[in-house]
Structure 1
Amino acid sequence: MGKRKRKNKGTKEEPEDLVKAPHSFVIRKGNVGKHVEQLMQDFRIVMEPFTASNLKLRKKNVIKDFVSISSYLNVTHLAIFTRTDKSPYFRLIRMPRGPTITFKIAEYSLTHDVISSLRKPHVNSTLFHTSPLLVMNGFTNNEDLKFKLMTSMLRNMFPTIDIHKIKLGTIKRCVLFNYDHESGHIEFRHYAIKVKPVGLSNTVRKLMTGKKIPDLGQFSNVEEAIEQSQMATFTESEGEGDEHDETRHVTLPQKLNIRGSLKNEKSSIRLVELGPRMSLELVKIEDGVMTGEVLYHSYITKTNEEIQETKQKMDIKKTKKQ
C-alpha cells in the first residue's frame, strides 16, 4: 500500500490592517551601558505589539542586516540607542531608505524608577496586547521643513486610528510627545488609561467591579450599607478625586468591558504613568540610512558652497557603489 500523503496545513494570512501597521526594530549599537540597555528594553515594551520584543543582538550585526530583512517582516522603523562620552542618543530611521533623525537624550528615567515612585502603580500584561494611542502636543502651526519631517516620523511610528471602526476597549495605553517651544525639547511619556464609572458610592463601585468585595457583615442589609457609604466623608487620595473632577468625566459612546462602564453613561478617565520617560533634543536629520546628505544639524551650519561640495562627494560615492 502506498503511503498517505500529508496534507500541508495552510498558514493563515494576517489581516490587512495588521500588515499595514507600522512595525519596528528597537536595538542598541555599541557599548551603551546597563542603564541605556534597560532603556532600550523599556522602549521595546512601549512599541508592543508591533515590535520584535525578544530580538537578540550580536556584535557582528550591522545596520544593513536589519535593513535587508525589513521588507520581509513589514518593518517600517528602526530605533537605535547609542551612547558617547557626552550623552546617550536616540536614532529613528524610516526603513528601508531613510531618512534618519538623531535625538540627544537630555534626560531619561527607566520604567522601574517611574513605577516605584507611584503610590498605586497600574501594571497589567493585557495593556500591551494592543498598540498605544498617540498624543502629540505643540507640533502644530509650524511651517519649518525640519519640524514637519520630525513630526511626520514620530506620527508614523504608531498605527492610525479609524474613529468609525475603533473599539474603545482596545485603547488601554497612550504615548505622549510634548514639544516645548522654549527649550526645543520633546518630552516623551507613556501612560495606562484607567476608566471607572462615576456617580456611584465606594461600596456600590466595589460591588460592581468585583475586585474588592467590601465587608457587609456589620449591616443588616445592602440598602443600609449603601446609605452609610453615601453619608461617609470623602477622603482625598490618589485617584479618588476623579469623582468630583468634571474635567475627567466623559460620556462613553460605546460599552466597555468594565463593569459599570455602559454606553451613554458618564465615566472618569485617569492616566497612570508606566514609563519610561525621555527628554529629546533634535540634533540631526540626514537623508538615507545614516549615510546620506545632512539636511539639518543643530550644531553645524554650512554655506551654500559647502553644501554643493558635500552633494558632489555623495554623488561620487553613489556612482562608485553602483
Structure 2
Amino acid sequence: MAKRRQKSRTHKKVSEEELAKIPRSMVLRLGSSLRNHSLSQLVKDFRYMMQPHTAINLRERKANKLKDFIVMGGPLGVSELFVFNQSEETGNISLRVGKMPRGPMLQFKIHQYSLIKDVNKILKRPKSLDRASSLFMNPPLLVMNGFSTKLNEAENHEKLLVTIFQNMFPPIQPQKIKVSSIRRVLMINKDPKTEQIDIRHYVIDTKFIEGTRSVRKLVNSHRDPHKPLPNLSKAQDMAELLLDPYTVGGMTSDSEVEDDAIVEVKEEQDTNVHKNKRAEPESKDETRKKAVKLTEIGPRITMSLVKIEEGLIGSSKTLYHSQISKSNKELSELDKKHNERKRLREERRSKQEATVKEKNAKKEAKKARRKAAANNEPGSTAEPMSEDNSDASSGDESDAPEIDPNDYENDSDLYSDIEK
C-alpha cells in the first residue's frame, strides 16, 4: 500500500507529549446489555459522539470482564471508561463513568434515551453522517449548563462531576484554535429541580449572509445549477435586485436567520505562498458575517447521578450516594472496614509476591543443575543410568526370537507361529 503524503509546510506535527495529554476513551457494554439490540446501538452512537479519540471498532465478548479492559487500557493511554449495563433483575440501564487508572467511578441511572435514527425521524432535514465524515475529525465543543458557577461553594460530588465532564475532551485554546475546526457541540444540561442531566449532540451549520437576500439567491443559483434563477419580471431595473431586499420572493419567511444567530468571524487566508520553503506565507485577516445554526444529530440521554465510588472495580468505598445518607458514626465504621480490607489485601499480595519469588528461584536452580549435567561439569547432581537398570528396563524382549514376515506364505501361518 502506498504511503500517504503528509504536508510539511501547512501541517504542524504533534509532539509525543501533546499526544499523551489528549484524553482517550473506551465505550463498553457488559452483562445482559449484549442481548439488548437497542442498547447496543446506543453504545455505537455514543462512540460516534466521543470521536475521534475513542475506540470506535471495539468488540466485546461475553467472557470479557471490566478488569480486562482496565488492564488493556493502560498501554493504550485510555483515560476514561464509559460502561453501559442493564440489570437482569429490574431491567434498569446504568452508565458508569470511570477515571483511569484508579478511579473514581460515577454511576448514573438512565431514564430515557433516543438513538441517532430516532432523532433523524423527527427532523425535517436530517443529517446523513458517516463515520469517515469530516465532522468527526475533531472533538466536539463542550457546553455545560445548570451547574454551579462557583465551584468553591458547590458540594464535593458536584465538583467531581464537573471535573470529570470537563476532562472528557482536550482543552480549547482560544488563541491557537481555528474556528472552522469546531463542527460539533456536546451540551450537558442539568435541571436544578429534578437533578437530572440531559445530553444533547449538535452539528454546527454556518452560512455567509453578506449582502441582501436577493443577491444571495442570485449567487446560490450561479453555484448550484439545479436552483432556478430569480424572477425579475416585476423589476424595472437591476438596482432593485441589489438594493431592495423584498424584490425577490416578497416578504421574508419565518425560516430567515435571526439577528441573534449572526456572528462575525475572523478568517485567516494565505495570500502569498512561494515555492521556496524559506519564504513564509503572508496571512490576511478578514472579518465576515456568518449565520450559525445547530442541527441535532443525537443521541439523546436523560440520566441522574446515583453514587460515586472510590475505585473502579470491586467493593470499593462509596464517596457519595443520592438516596442513602449515613451518620458520622456509620461512616467511621465503614472506614474501619475498608481499612481492614485494604490491609488484608496488601498482606495477600505480599505473600503472593514472596511465593512467586520462591518458585522462580527454584526454577532457576533447576535450570542451572540441568545445564551443568548437560555440560558434564563437576559437582553436578545428575547421575547416569546404570547398566543393571538398562538391562532391567529391556526385560525379556532381547531373548525373544526374531520373526520375518517374508518367510510365511499367508497371514494365518504367521499368526499361528506368533501364538506358539
TM-score when normalising by structure 2:
0.66
What does the per-residue CA deviation read over 1:124-172, in whole Å, with 9 as the maximum and x for residues that have no partner? Answer: 4211111100001111235111111011111111111000000111100
What does the per-residue CA deviation read over 1:273-297, in whole Å, with 9 as the maximum and x for residues that have no partner? Answer: 0100011101001101143210111
Aligned match of 2:67: 64
1:1-322 aligned at under 5 Å gives the runs 15-32=16-33, 33-84=36-87, 85-124=90-129, 125-139=133-147, 140-141=149-150, 143-200=154-211, 201=213, 202-207=216-221, 210=223, 213-216=226-229, 231-232=247-248, 233-234=250-251, 236=253, 240-242=255-257, 245-255=258-268, 263-291=286-314, 292-322=316-346
The 2-side partners of 1:82 and 1:137 are apart by 27
More displaced stretch, 297-306 vs 21-30: 297-306
Identical pairs, percent: 35
Q: Closer, same or farther in 2 for the Cα pair 1:218/1:269, shift >3 Å?
A: closer
Aligned match of 2:350: none
The 2-side partners of 1:298 and 1:283 are apart by 5
The 2-side partners of 1:79 and 1:225 are apart by 59
Q: Closer, same or farther in 2 for the Cα pair 1:315/1:31, shift >3 Å?
A: same
**1:177·1:186 contact (CA, 8 Å) conserved in 2?**
yes
What does the per-residue CA deviation read over 1:24-71, in whole Å, with 9 as the maximum and x for residues that have no partner? Answer: 000011112111111111100000000000001011211111111222
**2:218·2:229 contact (CA, 8 Å) conserved in 1?**
no
Secondary structure of 2:295's counterpart equals strand
**2:45·2:299 contact (CA, 8 Å) conserved in 1?**
yes
**1:76·1:95 contact (CA, 8 Å) conserved in 2?**
yes
Shift of 1:218: 7.5
**1:293·1:314 contact (CA, 8 Å) conserved in 2?**
yes
Q: Closer, same or farther in 2 for the Cα pair 1:320/1:265, shift >3 Å?
A: same
**2:42·2:299 contact (CA, 8 Å) conserved in 1?**
yes
TM-score when normalising by structure 1:
0.85
More displaced stretch, 120-129 vs 97-106: 120-129
Shift of 1:234: 4.6
CA RMSD, 1 decimal = 2.6
The 2-side partners of 1:35 and 1:217 are apart by 47
Q: Specify which structure has the higher proportion of helix.
A: 2
**2:221·2:229 contact (CA, 8 Å) conserved in 1?**
no
Shift of 1:121: 1.5
1:319 partner letter: R
1:284 partner letter: K
**2:22·2:170 contact (CA, 8 Å) conserved in 1?**
yes
Secondary structure of 1:317's counterpart equals helix
The 2-side partners of 1:236 and 1:219 are apart by 19
Q: Closer, same or farther in 2 for the Cα pair 1:65/1:162, shift >3 Å?
A: same
The 2-side partners of 1:247 and 1:283 are apart by 38
The 1-side partners of 2:127 and 2:268 are apart by 22
Secondary structure of 2:76's counterpart equals coil
